Amino acid sequence: MTPLKPYLLRAVYEWIVDNVQTPYLLVDAEAEGVQIPQTFVKDGKIILNIRPQAVQGLALEDDAVYFSARFGGKPMQVYVPMSAVLALYALENGKGMVFDQEEDSDEPPSTPPEPPTPEPPPRKRPVLTVVK
């Protein structure tokens, strides 16, 4: 199956914007393939304001989020692989979604072990009774 994360990201983004809130994207700045302004990284993470008025050409694709924006007055192209997206939430009230990093692994989820089959009870000889 295709990953669920991009679908949830798009839905939460639309919900935040429809409710006239400011969508903030929390990104793992140290993840492979991330292209962001490093001067704004704190503790290995960065929060990006992705409201429609703050970015140009926003694309929430299946494999990545990318757009262009200004940082400190300088234009920059931002590229965030989907695996680096940690959360999407509204600035005003903190409502949104935190994403599970384990979901991004390419390995299929392990199947739970089958429960042991109980042994059937020993069979007794049938008993007939007289019914009047």
Q: What is the pLDDT of residues 23-35, one digit of tens each?
A: 999 999 999 999 9
Domains in the chain: how many in total?
1
Is 118 domain-assigned? no
Q: In terms of residue numbers, what domain contains 10?
A: 5-98
> How far is Cα 88 from Cα 94, in angstroms, rounded to an integer?
9
Tokens of 95: 């409502």
Q: Quick one: pLDDT band at residue 98, thresholds 50, 70, 90? A: very high
Is 104 domain-assigned? no
pTM for this entry: 0.75
Nearest one of 58, 56, 51, 26 to 41, comparing CA atoms = 26
Q: What is the pLDDT of residues 56-76, one digit of tens each?
A: 999 999 999 999 999 888 999
Is 121 domain-assigned? no
> How far is Cα 33 from Cα 108, in angstroms, rounded to an integer?
23
Q: How many CB atoms lie within 10 A of CB 110?
A: 6
> How far is Cα 87 from Cα 98, in angstroms, rounded to an integer?
4
Is 10 domain-assigned? yes
Helix ranges restricted to H, the chain: 5-18
Query: For residue 29, what is the domain's CATH number?
Result: 2.30.30.220
